[in-house]
A = this chain, B = another copy of it.
Amino acid sequence: MSPATPDPAGKPRTAGRRPGGPDTRGEILAAARESFAGKGFAGTSLRAVAREAGVDAALVHHYFGGKDELFIEALALPIDPRQVAAQILAGPPDELGRRIVTVFLGVWESPDGQQRMKALLRSVVSSEDVARLMREGITKMIIHPVAETLELPDAELRVSLVATHLIGMALSRYLIELEPIASADVQTLINRMAPTIQHYLTAP
C-alpha cells in the first residue's frame, strides 16, 4: 500500500473564503441541506459543509453550534424534534401512546405548524432528497430516543409502526381531507388513537 496522501481539503485555504455576511447563515444552511439529503447524516461533516458554502468551519460552529443543531435547522421543522421527544418521554409509560398522539396533533393543529408541516409533507412525497432528509430526521430524533426507553428487542419496529399511523393521520386529515377524519375534533382522534398506539408500543 502506498502511504496516505495528504487530504487537500484538510489544508487551510484563505483565497475564496468570504467573511460572515448577512447571507452566510443561509448559504451554510443550503449547503447543509444538500449534503444531508445526498450523503445522509453520518456522511456529512461540518468541514465539508463549510467548504461547500465557501466559509470557514468556525463560522458553521458560530451560527449553528454542532452537527445536530445544523441538521435540525436543515429539516426546517416548526418545532425542535428534541423538545418533542422530551415531551413525549416525560410521564408514565402506560400513557406514552396518549402523549405521542397529543403532541403530534398539537403541532399540526397550530396554524403555523400546520402550514409548515403540510409544505414539508408535500416535499417529502415529491423529492427523494427531502424524503431521505426526513427519514433520517424521524429516525434519529424521534424513533431512536423513544425506542430506547421501551427496552424491547423489537422497539424500533414498534415505534416505526406508530410513526406510520401518525404520518397517515396527518396526510388524511390535513392534505387529503378525508371525512370524517378531517372534521373530527382533536380530542376524539386522541381518544381513539391513544390505545392503538399504546398497544403497538407495549403489548406483549
Are the CB atoms of A177 and B125 closer together than 8 Å? no
What's the Cα separation between A55 and B192 when bound, in Å?
49
The CA-CA distance from A166 to B138 in the complex, in Å, is 19
Find A125's partner among B126, B157, B196 (CB 8 Å cutoff). Answer: B126
Interface residue A121 (Cβ < 8 Å from any Cβ of B): yes
The DSSP consensus for interface residues of chain A is helix
Could you tell me how many residues of chain A have their Cβ less than 8 Å away from some Cβ of chain B?
Answer: 39
Q: Does A184 contact B (CB under 8 A)?
A: yes
Contact across chains for A180 and B157 when beta carbons are under 8 A apart:
yes
> A16 vs B118: C-alpha distance in the bound complex, in angstroms?
44
Contact with B along A164-176 (1 / 0, CB 8 A): 1111110111011
- In contact, A126 and B131 (Cβ under 8 angstroms): no
Check A173/B178 contact, CB under 8 A, given A125-B121, A125-B122.
no
Top 5 nearest A-B pairs (CB, nearest first) are A168-B168, A164-B172, A125-B125, A164-B168, A167-B168
